[in-house]
Amino acid sequence: MTLLQDSLQENLVVCNIGLPSQELYKINDRSNYFYMLGSMGLASSIGLGLSISIDKNVISIDGDGSVLMNMNTLATIGNRAPSNYTLLIVDNGSYGSTGDQKTFTNEKTSLKEVA
């Protein structure tokens, strides 16, 4: 997150539940950051909705566990393909916010291939 900080400044940022939100907040909280605490799996959907409804660049930061909980959003993002929307998926192979249980990205599921 520290490496991304400079590129996030001018964009609306929607960050998923848990560790990514905590890290982003600790690095440098900004008024254009929206932390999705308590809504696992929805950062990508909310970011997509914002990108469709406003004329501003939107970046959603989501984890592999959250994306796996709401994979239908990937199809919607692909079909709508807004030019002002970026989805960044942090794939650490675990549900970090719920005790680091392994996700299926540790096995045969490849989010790269899904994209």
Question: How many domains, in total, are found in the chain?
Answer: 1
In-domain check, residue 94? yes
Q: Provide the H-helix boundaries in the chain.
A: 5-8, 19-28, 43-53, 64-69, 72-80, 111-114
From 52, 57, 46, 50, select the one nearest 15 (Cα to Cα): 46
Q: How far apart are the first and last CA of the chain?
A: 22
The answer to whether position 28 is within a domain reads: yes
15 falls within a domain: yes
Domain annotation covers residue 112: no
> Residues 47, 85: contact at Cβ < 8 Å?
yes
Q: What is residue 1's predicted lDDT score, i.e. its pLDDT?
A: 60
Radius of gyration of the chain (CA): 13
Q: Containing domain of residue 16, as a range?
A: 5-107
The confidence band for 20, taking pLDDT boundaries of 50, 70 and 90, is confident
Contact between residue 8 and residue 29 where contact means Cβ atoms under 8 Å apart: no
pLDDT at 55: 93
Domain assignment present for residue 103? The answer is yes
pTM of the model: 0.84
Structural domain contains residue 101 = yes
Average predicted confidence (pLDDT) for the chain? 86
90 domain residue, yes or no:
yes
Domain CATH for 18: 3.40.50.970
